Amino acid sequence: MSRVIDTDVLVIGSGPGGATTAALLAEAGQDVLLVEEGGRFHVDSAPDHSLEQMDEKWRSGGLTAALGKPKITYIEGRCVGGASETNAGLYHPPFPEVLQRWAGEYGIEEMGPDALAPWLEEVERDIGVSRRPDGPGPASEALARGAEAMGWRHTEIQRFWRYVQREDGSWGGQRRSMTETMIPRALAAGCRLMSDTRVDRLDLDDRTARSARAWTREEGREIAVQIRFKRVWVCAGAVQTPRLLRKSGWTARIGNTLTMNPMIRLAAQFPDAVNVPALGVPVVQIEEFKPEMTLGCSYSAVPHLAMWLDGSAAERKAMLQEWERMAVFYVKVSGKGRGSVRTWPVFDEALVRQPVTAEDLAGLGEGLCRLSQALFAAGAEVVHNPLVGGDVLTESGHAERFRGALTPANISVSAIHLHSTCPMGERPDHSATDSFGCLRDADNVYINDSSLLPASPGVNPQGTIMAIARRNVARSLGSST
């Protein structure tokens, strides 16, 4: 016998899209229940990038992969607040030309740069973005130095972060995650929150969803729950949202157009110290080739460095004696392949497939060449080759080796931004929802997360997702900014 819970509005998923949706609807006076599959933790419950944090806040401890040649490892937040609790909190507004292209190509109403600008301003105001008061750090400064030497534009990316100066004059900070911002707002407005609760299926009556079947954990045991509602907002992310909708019976244009941003990392060694793990993820990016390509810095604690060094275990251990002079950098491209999300028939988990296209491989190779050139221009002594069996690079001319050299067999690819599995717009042949997230094949089902983005925005999507979520909620409430 399952427990029955009634609510006017059910919001599934508490990441940036879901937390924003729940807060704004609750503040508008609606009865809202916010459900999250993962647990509820303080934003600083575990050290950043630690195994403990991965186990607490990432699905499968971060060990998720999209099938393909090569496979792409990716991460999914699975906790109250979603990926905002663990990511770098980088904020880059969408490129105006990208929004304009989306509006035209996919027929999305109120999606041009002027239309979205007020919602982006609200995100910046309510969450708060800033730059490090004490400078971006030595790894970022090295990348900026290299960009300047190459004549390329670069910038220090703002973050959803709050900085406080300590008594000794140093600066500390805290991530402005959803558990620090929108979720407290939602709760203060009367929203109820159920964590450790997995929605398994939505029950339908013709075009109307009536209830959700879910499982929740209480005192170490699972309890079946039926949640009855009038409207439901599915905000579980680009993988879990289509998985749930398809399992509930909606399949048209859902889970067929997944996009990712393939990424490859490499390590470089400099004459002087560049590695300060306490500063977190470095924040300088090369802007010259965006939105198609981003060159940037990555987190460089010793265990992360070890992943991007070649040689035997003993050789890597010896190289890591110089860890303070080493840092990790990356090239990321806007993926051209379209993947899919289905469900494993036995394990009842998402089955993700994603191709890495020849165009992706060529772009990553070109990006590794450009990144290596910038690092040598910044004074790097050695660039470690991330390709299987590749030789270490010791001068800028060696960077040419990357052009046309990448194959599915010699690279390790990851991704941190997933989108486009339930694209919005007014193209019935392509769009799963209308321009404002209302599911085409239902009367009371809405989507409000990264799955709505019709293609890769070419930048960190969190700010864009939250702005679109605000816009969609305002439309549902019959108001505008």
Predicted confidence (pLDDT) per residue in 143-172, tens digit: 999 999 999 999 999 999 998 888 888 888
CB 137 within 8 A of CB 88: no
Task: Give the pLDDT of residue 378.
Answer: 98
Residue whose structure tokens are 């663990």? 86
Task: Give the pLDDT of residue 310.
Answer: 80
DSSP character string of 421-435:
SS-BSS-TTT-SB-T
- Write out pLDDT tens, residues 366-414: 999 999 999 999 999 999 999 998 999 999 999 999 999 999 999 999 9
Tell whether the model's pLDDT for residue 479 goes beyond 70: no
Task: Give the pLDDT of residue 183.
Answer: 98
CB 445 within 8 A of CB 279: no
Query: For the domain bounded by 3-48+83-128+177-255+420-476, which CATH number is listed?
Result: 3.50.50.60
Task: Give the pLDDT of residue 406.
Answer: 97
Mean pLDDT (whole number) for 48-54:
87
Task: Give the pLDDT of residue 1.
Answer: 54
Angle of CA points 412, 415, 418, to nearest 5°: 150
CA–CA distance, 329 with 140 (Å, rounded to integer) = 10
Mean pLDDT (whole number) for 231-251:
97
Cα-Cα-Cα-Cα dihedral of 352, 353, 358, 364, to 10°?
A: 20
Q: Token digits for 117?
A: 């600008």
Question: Lowest-pLDDT range, 43-47, 69-73, 199-203?
Answer: 43-47
Task: Give the pLDDT of residue 313.
Answer: 84
pLDDT band at 335, cuts 50/70/90?
very high
pLDDT band at 480, cuts 50/70/90?
very low
pLDDT band at 355, cuts 50/70/90?
very high
Enzyme catalytic residues = 417
Mean pLDDT (whole number) for 301-330:
88
Mean pLDDT (whole number) for 330-339:
95
Our measurement of the distance from residue 279's CA atom to the centroid of its chain's CA atoms, rounded to an integer in Å, reads: 20
List the domain boundaries for the chain: 3-48+83-128+177-255+420-476, 138-173+262-415
| Mean predicted lDDT score pLDDT of the chain | 94
CA–CA distance, 192 with 7 (Å, rounded to integer) = 9
The answer to whether the Cα torsion of 470, 472, 476, 480 is positive or negative is positive
Task: Give the pLDDT of residue 65.
Answer: 94
Task: Give the pLDDT of residue 47.
Answer: 87
Side chain identity at residue 201, one-letter code: R
CA–CA distance, 433 with 476 (Å, rounded to integer) = 14
Mean pLDDT (whole number) for 85-102:
94
**β-pair type (72-74, 64-66):** antiparallel
DSSP character for 147? Answer: H
Task: Give the pLDDT of residue 41.
Answer: 95
Tell whether the model's pLDDT for residue 481 goes beyond 50: no
Query: For the domain bounded by 138-173+262-415, which CATH number is listed?
Result: 3.30.410
pLDDT band at 219, cuts 50/70/90?
confident
Question: Lowest-pLDDT range, 107-111, 229-233, 299-303?
Answer: 299-303
Residue that wins the pLDDT comparison between 47 and 15: 15
